[in-house]
Amino acid sequence: MDNILTKVWVKRHNNLVRAHQKTTLSLTAQKLLLFAFTHKEQEEDKVLEFRVADFLGRNPGGKDIKNIDQACDELSSSKIKDGSGITDNDYDSKDFNRKYITLFDTIEINKTRVSFKFNRTFKQYLGPSSNYTQYLYSNLKDMRSPHAVRLYDFITGGVGKYERRKVELNELKSVLGVSTKKSYNVFNTFKNSVLEPAVKGIDKTTDIHLSYEPIRERGRKYTHIIFYFHKKKVLPKRTDLEVTNADGLTPENAAKVASMRAMNLSDVIIQATIKELLNQQKESILDDIEEAEVVTSTIGQQDLFNNKPTPDTENTANDFDSKVKKIELRLSELGLTKNTIQLAVKKYKLNPKLKIWIEMNNLKMAVRDGQSFPNKHTLKKWIEEND
């Protein structure tokens, strides 16, 4: 069944992607709603039908039918809110406009199939040829939070086009369907109950890396969230002819294994060799991802009795100098200018916890795999904007 899900695309008009929800739909209802938009023939007055097994990615059980039935009941009375009216101040605006749209006219379910018919008001949003967001439905299948599903739908359209997106906090709450919950007026409650689990779920189970930063633009309260994202590196899948695709071996190591197979060596020996080669590759990569946390505040610390640096301090300082030189070398190899390298070194010296090693490694892997993103220009921008 997974083969079906990996080929199914969700395609939604961006007005629906940005639409507000009065309440949060359940996890099954969120997934069922987005699965409805995988149909290519999205037309008004047309009943669309799909198999329950296709939606689940497996054959259903009794509990599955019950959950889907409850989700259908939920969707039958659900609506989205389109237009302005995010904050109380918007009500005073001359441009105030809001539209409430019921999602479906009818939804039917039996033991094996679900059929639905979109509301006629959806005509302008069905089967968009422009201004839409599209992604594989399989990215949603392992999510366990309804907020993660909705946030992924909302944020993924910008992935690959830019590196970050700033969203007003009140708008984000409306998109996630929690704007009316007074307890979420306390930012930490909203963060711990909604935002943090959603971001972690997306980062762990989908095709993108996602993180966030709350910011204050006025007063003491947080007003916006900046989301940072980029596509995860996808290793090629195994084929019978390419050992490189089997376990992520480099071309050089794959050639070694191919030679062993040509010699008809036993599979036990070949698998042991692959394991050893992978460990060597991993160690090589880890050499480049040196975490700055190992550089402690003992740099420059002195023995108060003899007024000389302690041996441990000397070793730590030498390690730090070595890391600085290695940063200069790596950035030069990656093609960054002298001025950018000097800026990076300066920032690293001021803040040894700067995550520059990870950024350099991401670029190194992208160059190795022939990817256009990230590149030296995005790394330059990251260096300029991070402290």
CATH code, 167: 1.10.10.10
Residue 312 structure tokens: 């441990």
Residue 188 structure tokens: 């930490």
Which of 131, 253, 266, 143 has its CA nearest to residue 204?
Answer: 143
- Please tell me the total count of domains within the chain: 4
Cβ 26 vs Cβ 70: under 8 Å: yes
Residue 239 within a domain: no
Burial (CB < 10 A; 0-12, 13-18, 19+), residue 193, is middle
Residue 238 within a domain: no
Q: Indicate if 225 and 354 belong to the same structural domain.
A: no
- What span, in angstroms and rounded, lies between the C-alpha atoms of 250 and 171? 45
Q: What is the pLDDT at residue 5?
A: 52
Residue 49 within a domain: yes
- What span, in angstroms and rounded, lies between the C-alpha atoms of 131 and 345? 42
Q: Indicate if 264 and 360 belong to the same structural domain.
A: no
Residue 356 within a domain: yes
Q: What is the pLDDT at residue 146?
A: 95
What's the whole-model pTM score?
0.59
Q: Indicate if 198 and 224 belong to the same structural domain.
A: yes
Residue 54 within a domain: yes
Q: Indicate if 271 and 337 belong to the same structural domain.
A: no
Winning range, highest mean pLDDT, from 90-94, 180-184, 236-240, 244-248: 180-184
Mean pLDDT value across residues 77-82: 76
Q: Indicate if 217 and 253 belong to the same structural domain.
A: no
Residue 221 structure tokens: 């309260």
Q: Which of 204-213, 286-295, 311-320 has the lowest mean pLDDT?
A: 286-295
Residue 301 within a domain: yes
Residue 237 within a domain: no
Q: Indicate if 253 and 358 belong to the same structural domain.
A: no
Which of 182, 179, 157, 153 has its CA nearest to residue 168?
Answer: 179
Domain containing 272 equals 244-288
- What span, in angstroms and rounded, lies between the C-alpha atoms of 382 and 344? 10
Q: Indicate if 302 and 225 belong to the same structural domain.
A: no
Q: Tell me the pLDDT band of 317, cut-offs 50, 70 and 90.
A: low
Q: Please say which residue of 104, 137, 170 terminates a domain.
A: 137
Q: Which of 17-31, 185-199, 251-265, 303-317 has the lowest mean pLDDT?
A: 303-317
Q: Indicate if 156 and 44 belong to the same structural domain.
A: no
